[in-house]
Structure 1
Amino acid sequence: MAATSRPIDARGWLFEVLDAAAATETWLPIAGLTSFTHNPGENEETAEWTAFDSEGYYSQDVMQRGATLEIEGQYRVDKPTGAQDAGQAYVDTVWAYKLGSDSNNKVRWRHKSQTAWVIWDATVTPGEQGGETNDKTSWSATITRSGKPTTAAVDGGGA
């Protein structure tokens, strides 16, 4: 009997950042990505409540949940204009310079086979850029979730 479930391709993941300055809701795809890491346990905090009557068994409660997305790829530009990819540029030149409560922005992500976006209110830490003689220039960012995640249906039911 053939298995009905199959693994999904990593290249099918889509990541977008909300342009908070746009007059209407505008999501900017982040192009050039070659890898990502979702860490759903990042920034988790626990409280231990082990006591003598626990009979030697450890006990804890989760007091805080956190998560991060690390996205990496190649620095992308539009060949005719030389302008950086709009999603990368928003992360690098707008979001990365905000402080305090202004440092929170929305990001959404999903696999192209899914019919709902995961949406985070988050902060961003820009990553290193570089390369060697025969490399393409790298680009990366770490997105840290702030608060509880939400979801939204994909317009049209998927890509």
Structure 2
Amino acid sequence: MAGNSRPIDARGWLFEVEDVDTPDTWLPIAGLTTFNHNPGENEETAETVAFDSEGHFEQDVMQRGASLSLEGQYRIDKTTKAQDPGQAYIDHEWSQRLGIDSRNRVRWRHNTQTAWAVWEATVTPGEQGGGTNEKTTWSATITRCGAQTSEDVTP
């Protein structure tokens, strides 16, 4: 029923990275102010136009891909001055790995959803910066490798 349909708040999205040194330990990524999910990133197609296409374009999708761009504020613990554990893991652990070690799992969902979208992915660290009267920025781009899976939310 369209009358009861409402848009969801962007601030309700949750993003977590798995600590591979402690399997099944998920670290929330704090300080996010914006995200972009691009479900068509790295898509590849093959043109299938032939004489019998009668002048109409045709194609097949040969490869699917997706990416998440996360942006926000660089966060620290007020007491210890340590960087947020999720951000720190991405910046100092995951983004430093190469080759077969460069993949890690991430999961994300809206707080109204009952299942996580789970990706095996690579990460590209983003720029950090800021001006005199600004907070320091933080960002990362996560690129899915393989098919998305899901996990039920558990309390």
Letter in 1 for 2:82: A
Map 1:143-158; keep pairs closer than 5 Å: 143-156=142-155
| Structure 1: distance between partners of 2:45 and 2:77 | 46
Kindly provide the amino acid, as one letter, of the partner of residue 120 in structure 1.
Answer: W
TM-score, normalising length from structure 2?
Answer: 0.98
Separation (CA, whole Å) in 2 of partners of 1:64 and 1:26: 31
What's the counterpart of residue 92 of structure 1? 91
One-letter amino acid of the structure 1 residue matched with residue 92 of structure 2: T
Alignment partners' CA distance in 1, 2:97 and 2:59: 36
Equivalent in the alignment of 2:138: 139
Instruction: State the Cα deviation string for residues 35-77 of structure 1 (Å, max 9, x = none).
Output: 0000000000000010122110001000000000000000000
Gaps of 5+ in 2: none
Q: How far, CA to CA, are the matches of 2:12 and 2:143 in structure 1?
A: 22
After superposition, where does 1:122-133 map in structure 2 within 5 Å? 122-133=121-132
C-alpha distance in structure 2 between counterparts of 1:18 and 1:126, whole Å? 16
Cα distance between partner residues in 1 of 2:5 and 2:101: 42
Aligned mates of 1:100, 1:125 — CA distance in 2: 14
Shifted more, 33-42 versus 48-57: the winner is 48-57
Q: Displacement of 1:2 after TM fit? A: 7.1
Identity %: 70
Q: 2:95, 2:67 → 1: CA distance? A: 16
Letter in 2 for 1:29: P
Could you tell me which residue of structure 2 aligns to residue 20 of structure 1? 20
SS in 2 for 1:3: helix
RMSD across aligned C-alpha pairs, in angstroms? 1.1
- Superposition pairs for residues 17-96 of structure 1, below 5 Å? 17-22=17-22, 24-96=23-95
Residue 7 of structure 2 corresponds to which residue in structure 1?
7
Q: Secondary structure at the match of 2:4?
A: coil
TM-score computed with the length of structure 1 as normaliser: 0.95
CA distance in 2, matches of 1:2, 1:28: 37
C-alpha separation between the residues in 1 aligned to 2:3 and 2:118? Answer: 31
- 1:80-106 per-position Cα deviation (integer Å, ceiling 9, x unaligned): 100000000000000000001100000
Unaligned runs of 5+ in 1: none
Instruction: Tell me which stretches of 4 or more aligned residues in structure 1 moved more than 6 Å.
Output: none
Query: Residue type of the partner of 1:30?
Result: I
